[in-house]
Structure 1
Amino acid sequence: MAEKTKNPPRHDPKVIKALRNFAISITVFNILGYTLFGFEQAWTWPFIALATGYTLEIVLEVIGARVEGRSPRFLGGGVRGMVEFLYPAHITSLALNMLIYVNDRVLPMMFGIAVAIGAKWVLRAPVRGRLRHYMNPSNFGITMILLLFPWASVAPPYHFTEYVGGVVDWIIPAVIIFGGTMINGMLTGRMWLIMGWLGAFVLQAVFRGIVLDTSIPAALAMMTGVAFVLFTNYMVTDPGTSPSRPASQVAFGAGVAVVYGIVTGAGIAYGIFFATAIVCLIRGGFLWSVHFVNQAREQREAAATAAAAAAVAPALVASPNGHEPADRESAGKEVVTA
């Protein structure tokens, strides 16, 4: 049996820096949202969301570390190690609470966070030799809330700019775009994904307008909302659940836009979240299929190598030095010494 690893895998320093910037950005945005912008949820809910996310992340990590025979990832780095470990849970908890609206019922929100964090341990696929989660946590939690609680909805559009007006309405998305572009361009490297997503989104809006006779300006107007800007810069670009190669990024982003067009064209609300979940699920299936194909190829190559070795073995046994005698007739004659 292979010896289990004692040291857990660590994030790349650029990924840690990106997660830190994400965490700081969403924290500041939540503070401004509850004090200036007009967030609808109770001001205590972010703290409930964080407590839920932190607790589940730590408990599941302890269980996972024990099963895998390694030390928990939050140990060994002191306070800094714990903070870096909790970045994903921090982002997921605040994002889900900020983007979902469940009236005054806090339990569905907590349920969504539990699903989002728990899915990282259940829905995983092999990537570069180790299992990685493939469902976007925040998006998956929101999707499950919308599916299981039909009365729930996403945060209303005015939610992000209710108490501001004038030029501030333009400053808020501009700041989000600038910050998101800096993070995605310099740290996560997901600008190709953003371009694929935005380009295909425009095309699907035009296509629906031509084929389904929907309003093209209205479909494109969605791109001007703060929620769309947040989704584009901070959710669909999640480095943990999106591909890293440029071509794959474009395909992923365009795929989300195409599925969104299909879902919305079918009259299904909240298509942007369902589309992301569907594409992430397809990517997970693709990763598993690649794994099985590679595994089958390696088994065939190993079998061919074993068969070749078995064919060579009898010839090597025929002669002590591994070579046949040069003269078979003389090999059978008795040699008489003088």
Structure 2
Amino acid sequence: MTPSPAPTGPLPRASDQSWSGTMWRLSATAALVGVFYVARGALLSQSTVAVDPATTRVAAITLLLVSLLAVWWRVVARDPRLHAPILITAILALSDASFGLLENHPAPPWLVSWTNGVVLEYSPTFLTMTITVLCELILGRFMWGKWPNLSSAYISGISAGILVKSSLLWPFVMCGLISITSKYVLRLHNRHLWNPTNFGMTTMLFLAPEHVASLSVQAGNNGWAVATIWILGGLIMYNLGRFHMPFAFVLAFVPLAFLRYAVTGHPWQAELAPITSPMFQLYIFFMITDPKTTVRGRWNQIAFVIVVAAAETFCRLVFKDVHSLYHALFFVGPVANLIEIFTDRARKRRAGRPATVAREEVSAVAPAVLTKM
């Protein structure tokens, strides 16, 4: 059997293959997005079937997201850091498709004049995303001497843009800046004490309540959007090994909702309503599951989210707190982290003490042994 001749030409470099693959994916992405906007406009304008327009938009967005995920799957599958940004992008897109979550603000006169009337409005959400990414780049480079991964800044920017409700721009910007800065300032033994977005939102609601409100159940919900978010979020959380946290929180939240119904007399549907809101999706998939600001160990994490759910009910019943979800995590989160930090330090001291005693005994015996030799 004659062996086949070896190829004489140079083999393509891995970087060339990676570059060509990236260009193909970018081209496919642009084509899919273009087809989506053309098809969506035609479908909505020519549809004669009595279908809720929000359901049509959700179905179209879901199809687009699945198509884009298929295009980028080989890249996404091997980098878990991309999973959370993908999930929050899906939450943003589906929430906006359901009930127009993204609100544009009128552009200031100087911007309208500078652009000759081309820019008449802007999105505070996307502007906040840009600012949080820039803030992360500057602080990461200055504090650690290297360029940071921007996934956290992207998530914080979208979260602040979704959760802040204000007719002014500066509350969005301040919430994003406070969220990112807290990661670098409020640390103990190289650990965050607060979830960044939770800290930013709680701070803004406390300092400027007359200018800032929070997204809550008033935004409404759409069953298809919620189902898609929960399926995608559940798969991502399971892949990251943290599905038990949102699952345990929901299992605790539901009976506590009926407890509030029994105590207050409010309709039980109103007590359960937050569970389908976009704010709740952000809360269970990003705030209480944040790896940087939650305790370690599966059972410790389950106990942590149950305590947060109980604290939320306590704040709502005792203080009539409309921001009880934020405040529950704001107080329980750092306490749990501090307990774990000091417990770890005490355990390390106890583990190091016998070794120190043993070394002292050896050093004391060694001279006596040498004198007998």
C-alpha distance in structure 2 between counterparts of 1:15 and 1:303, whole Å: 41
Matches within 5 A, 1:114-153: 114-126=177-189, 131-151=190-210, 152-153=212-213
Corresponding position: 1:189 with 2:241? yes
Matches within 5 A, 1:1-338: 15-26=80-91, 28-29=93-94, 32=97, 37-40=100-103, 42=105, 43-66=122-145, 72-74=146-148, 85-101=149-165, 103-126=166-189, 131-151=190-210, 152-159=212-219, 169-186=222-239, 188-211=240-263, 215-243=267-295, 245-266=297-318, 267-320=320-373
Q: Match for 1:95: what amino acid?
A: S
C-alpha distance in structure 2 between counterparts of 1:303 and 1:207, whole Å: 53
> Offset at 1:237?
2.5
The 1:282/1:123 distance shift into structure 2, 3 A limit, reads: same
Q: Match for 2:86: what amino acid?
A: N
**Rg larger in structure:** 1
Per-residue Cα deviation, 1:34-92 (whole angstroms, up to 9, x for no partner): xx6243453421232022101110111111223xxxxx145xxxxxxxxxx21211111
Secondary structure in 1 aligned to 2:150? helix
The 1:118/1:200 distance shift into structure 2, 3 A limit, reads: same
**Gap runs ≥5 in structure 1:** 1-11, 67-71, 75-84, 162-168, 321-338
Q: Which range is displaced more, 267-276 or 19-28?
A: 19-28
Per-residue Cα deviation, 1:126-153 (whole angstroms, up to 9, x for no partner): 4xxxx23242111111111111112221
Q: Match for 2:279: what amino acid?
A: A
C-alpha distance in structure 2 between counterparts of 1:198 and 1:27, whole Å: 21
Per-residue Cα deviation, 1:240-287 (whole angstroms, up to 9, x for no partner): 323453212211221210110111112122101111222211122123
C-alpha distance in structure 1 between counterparts of 2:187 and 2:170, whole Å: 26
For residue 5 of structure 1, what is the aligned residue in structure 2?
A: none
Q: Percent identity?
A: 23
C-alpha distance in structure 1 between counterparts of 2:281 and 2:242, whole Å: 15
The 1:25/1:311 distance shift into structure 2, 3 A limit, reads: same
Contact 1:21 1:183 in 2 (8 A): no
C-alpha distance in structure 2 between counterparts of 1:215 and 1:312, whole Å: 76
Where relative contact order (Cα < 8 A, 6+ residues apart) is larger, the structure is: 1
The 1:23/1:171 distance shift into structure 2, 3 A limit, reads: closer
**Could you state the TM-score of these two structures normalised by the residue count of structure 1?**
0.73
Contact 1:49 1:93 in 2 (8 A): yes
C-alpha distance in structure 1 between counterparts of 2:307 and 2:79, whole Å: 26
Per-residue Cα deviation, 1:85-122 (whole angstroms, up to 9, x for no partner): 21211111111111111x22221221111111111112
> Offset at 1:228?
2.2
C-alpha distance in structure 1 between counterparts of 2:226 and 2:104, whole Å: 21
For residue 66 of structure 2, what is the aligned residue in structure 1?
A: none
Q: Match for 2:213: what amino acid?
A: S
Contact 1:39 1:160 in 2 (8 A): no
Contact 1:100 1:142 in 2 (8 A): yes
The 1:299/1:189 distance shift into structure 2, 3 A limit, reads: closer
C-alpha distance in structure 2 between counterparts of 1:110 and 1:154, whole Å: 15
Question: May I ask how many residue pairs the two structures share in their alignment?
Answer: 279
**Gap runs ≥5 in structure 2:** 1-76, 106-121
C-alpha distance in structure 1 between counterparts of 2:95 and 2:153, whole Å: 15
